C-alpha cells in the first residue's frame, strides 16, 4: 500500500509539473503575442542607436560617397512607450559640427497598415541646444521632458517591415507612395528608404524630386551604408577620405542630407 501511494504521489507530482510547464509555456506565448508589436519598435530603436560611419563605402567609391559619421542615441520615451531618439550626421573630420539634426520616433505601425514599425522624423525647435547630444554627459543634455517639448515639425515617416528569412536585413521600408513635401533645391517632395541589417549596419537613401518626377537632390547610385564604429576611430586619420570636401562641395552635400522644414 505504501509503495502504491508513493507511486501515486510521484505520478500526481509529475502531472502537476507538466501542467505548470504547459501553463507557463502558454503564458509566455501569450505575453510574447501581446508585446510583439512593441518588441519590434524597441529592436529598431536599439539597432539605430550608436556611432556608425560610411568610411568603407567612401573608400570604395569616393566620387559618390563621403565618410560621414551618423550618431544616434535614446533621448526620451512617450507615455505610450514610443521611443524618441536624437540623430545627427557630420563629416568625419568635424563631428562637433553636425549638418543634419533630427528627433526620431519609433513605435508600432497602426494596425490597419501592413508594417511592423513606424519610424518618424521630426525637426528640433532649437538645434543649437542639441549639438553633440549623444557625446555629452546625461546631466548636460536637454532632459527627456524638454526633448518631448522640442519635437517640432513632422518631416517624414518610414513604414518598416520585418525582413523575410534568408535576407541580410532585419527590417526594411520606405516612405509611403508620393513621399513627403520638400522644397529644397527645386524639389516638391522627398522619399526615404531605410534598411537595418543583421550585422548592425544601417542603409539610408534620401532623395528629392521636382513636380515632374526628376531627382534634384540625394544619391543616385544607391543608399549610404553606415557601419558600426571600429574600436578605434583614430586609425588612418591621415587618409584623404577623412579630410572634408571643399566648402562648395560641402554645401552641396549638406543640402542633399537636409530635408528642409
CA distance 208 to 215: 6
CA distance 249 to 256: 11
Give 136's DSSP letter.
Answer: S
- Quote the strand ranges of the chain, DSSP E: 50-53, 68-77, 83-91, 100-108, 117-124, 151-162, 169-174, 180-181, 189-197, 202-209, 215-218, 224-228
Confidence band, pLDDT 50/70/90 cuts, at residue 4: low
Contacts of 117 (CB under 8 A, 6+ apart): 40, 41, 44, 106, 107, 108, 109, 159, 160, 171, 173
- Give the count of alpha carbons within 13 A of 224, CB side only: 24
More confident: 182 or 15: 182
183 has pLDDT over 90? no
Closest CA to 119 of 53, 166, 49: 49
- Give the count of alpha carbons within 13 A of 140, CB side only: 7
Integer-rounded Cα Rg, in Å, for the chain is 24
Copy the grid coordinates of residue 96. 562637433
Q: List Cα–Cα distances, 133 to 47, 100, 138, in angstroms.
A: 18, 13, 9
Q: Which of 22-36, 131-145, 235-249 has the lowest mean pLDDT?
A: 235-249
How much is the average pLDDT of 70-84?
96
**Domain 37-172 has what CATH class?**
mainly beta
Closest CA to 105 of 65, 141, 150, 58: 150
Give 135's DSSP letter.
Answer: G
168 has pLDDT over 50? yes
Task: With H, G, I as helix, E, B as strand and everything else as coil, classify residue 50.
Answer: strand
Q: List Cα–Cα distances, 142 to 74, 99, 121, 127, 246, in angstroms.
A: 12, 19, 18, 11, 33
The pLDDT tens digits of the residues spanning 185-221 come to 899 999 999 999 998 999 999 999 999 999 999 999 9
In terms of Cβ atoms closer than 10 Å to its own Cβ (0-12, 13-18, 19+), residue 116 is buried
CA distance 259 to 189: 10
Q: How many other CB atoms are there within 10 angstroms of residue 95's CB atom?
A: 16
How much is the average pLDDT of 157-179?
94
CA distance 50 to 202: 11
The pLDDT tens digits of the residues spanning 213-258 come to 999 999 999 999 999 987 544 444 444 444 445 445 444 544 444 4
- Average pLDDT, whole number, for the chain? 83
- Residue ranges of the domains in the chain? 37-172
More confident: 15 or 59: 59
Amino acid at each position: 500500500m505504501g509503495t502504491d501511494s508513493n507511486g501515486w504521489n510521484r505520478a500526481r507530482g509529475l502531472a502537476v509539473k507538466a501542467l505548470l510547464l504547459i501553463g507557463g509555456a502558454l503564458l509566455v506565448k501569450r505575453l510574447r503575442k501581446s508585446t510583439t508589436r512593441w518588441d519590434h519598435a524597441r529592436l529598431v530603436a536599439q539597432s539605430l542607436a550608436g556611432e556608425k560611419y560610411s568610411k568603407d563605402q567612401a573608400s570604395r567609391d569616393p566620387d559618390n560617397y563621403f565618410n560621414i559619421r551618423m550618431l544616434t542615441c535614446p533621448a526620451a520615451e512617450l507615455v505610450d512607450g514610443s521611443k524618441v531618439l536624437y540623430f545627427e550626421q557630420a563629416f568625419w573630420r568635424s563631428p562637433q559640427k553636425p549638418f543634419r539634426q533630427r528627433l526620431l520616433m519609433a513605435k508600432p505601425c497602426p494596425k490597419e497598415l501592413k508594417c511592423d514599425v513606424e519610424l518618424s522624423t521630426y525637426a528640433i525647435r532649437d538645434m543649437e541646444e542639441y549639438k553633440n547630444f549623444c557625446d555629452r554627459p546625461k546631466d548636460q543634455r536637454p532632459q527627456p521632458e524638454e526633448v518631448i517639448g522640442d519635437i517640432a515639425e513632422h518631416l517624414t515617416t518610414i513604414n518598416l517591415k520585418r525582413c523575410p528569412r534568408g535576407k541580410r536585413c532585419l527590417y526594411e521600408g520606405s516612405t509611403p507612395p508620393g513621399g513627403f513635401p520638400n522644397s529644397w533645391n527645386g524639389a516638391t517632395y522627398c522619399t526615404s528608404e531605410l534598411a537595418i541589417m543583421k550585422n548592425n549596419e544601417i542603409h539610408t537613401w534620401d532623395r528629392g524630386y521636382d513636380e515632374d518626377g526628376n531627382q534634384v537632390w540625394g544619391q543616385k547610385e544607391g543608399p549610404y551604408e553606415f557601419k558600426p564604429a571600429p574600436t578605434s576611430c583614430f586609425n588612418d586619420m591621415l587618409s584623404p577620405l577623412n579630410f572634408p570636401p571643399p566648402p562648395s562641395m560641402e554645401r552641396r552635400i549638406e543640402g542633399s542630407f537636409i530635408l528642409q522644414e
